[in-house]
Amino acid sequence: MNTDWKYIANQMELETARNVKKAVAISSYHDTALQTMSLTTPGLIPLYDRYHPLHLTLVDEYSNLDSSGGAKQGDKVSVELMLASSKETLVDEWLVDILKFHKKGSAGYVAILPKGMAPFNSKGIDAKIAAYGTLAKNIGTEVALASVKADIITVHSNLLNARKLQTGAKTTTSNTSDMLDISRIEAMNMQYRNLGKILDDFFDTKEVMCPLLFDLVTLRINPQTVFTGNLIGANKKAVLAHTFKAGDTLQVKTTQASKLYLATTIGGIDSTAINVVGNLKTILNVDHFGVTDFTNHRFLTIVNDTVVTEKYVIILL
């Protein structure tokens, strides 16, 4: 039986196959470390020069995915809001006009709304949209309801266009995701090749060089996302170590007023402080720590501003 030799398996690629955010994290670490250390170790310059473009592409594709996802969500919200507004118009205006000429339950009413309001309350978005088209068709050539029919046709057309945009956004997200995975694999493969070069060039000091150039902590473990604990009054505590990227968010809830810092050292406070109100669940953006190098600023510290022991829950979103 032939089996793969574990030493030729690219751990960077395997460990990020289902976690692109992890790939971006270890790529950011490696790219920044190469750039910084190449200033004093010129032998790393060729490795940085060949890796940096792949890193930029990975980050760019990851940002595109975020953007596409936001567009898709925005389009979904637009359709839902339009449906809600259309339903209000149907109930408050069009139905009132229809009832002026056709009493509820009459043959004329049943011809226009054979299933009553049920189609407009269905679970599916497309079924709800189709109901407006059916309503306009059922009104037919009735002169008294001509203006109502025209309004319904306009609304139906707008709903179809909004739905089309949403569907297009879904396709864009799928395509962007494919491109992102290609970028991830290319960056992780180059990082693996860099490892081989570093092992060869710095064999006698590999135990020192590898942890400096590769984010081994993030690579080796499945990152913890929920952190809880207690902190006595007027004290600080190191909560976690994590390589964030710009725009990442945290969910924080503490029982007392506190401050959070994203530091360069364990338990450090060398960043802008973010104030947290006690007993209030808050979403924080890491950009508000005022740092630009998330490779070095990766240690989250909490400071209890009161004299009372507090409990905290911090979640990486």
User: Where are the alpha helices (H) located in the chain, listed in sequence order?
Assistant: 11-15, 20-37, 45-89, 95-101, 107-112, 125-139, 146-201, 206-213, 216-220
Tokens of residue 61, six digits: 């594709």
Between strands 258-263 and 299-304, the pairing is: antiparallel
The CA distances from residue 296 to 18, 33, 62, 266, in Å, are 25, 9, 21, 11
The residues of the chain scoring below 70 in pLDDT are 1-6, 64-78, 123, 165-177, 221-224
Q: What is the DSSP letter of 99?
A: H
**Mean of the per-residue pLDDT values for the chain?**
84
Q: Which residue has the tokens 């006009």?
A: 97
Q: What digits encode the pLDDT tens for the residues 125-170?
A: 788 888 888 899 999 999 999 999 998 988 888 887 777 766 554 4
Domains and CATH numbers, the chain: 1-222 (no CATH), 224-316 (2.60.120)
Which amino acid is it at 190? M
Which amino acid is it at 25? A
- Statement: the pTM of the whole predicted model exceeds 0.75: no
Q: What digits encode the pLDDT tens for the residues 6-39?
A: 677 888 888 888 788 888 888 888 998 899 899 9
- Please, are residues 264 and 36 in contact by the beta-carbon 8 Å criterion? no
Q: How far is CA 309 from the centre of its chain?
A: 34
Q: How far apart are CA 107 and CA 112, in angstroms?
A: 9
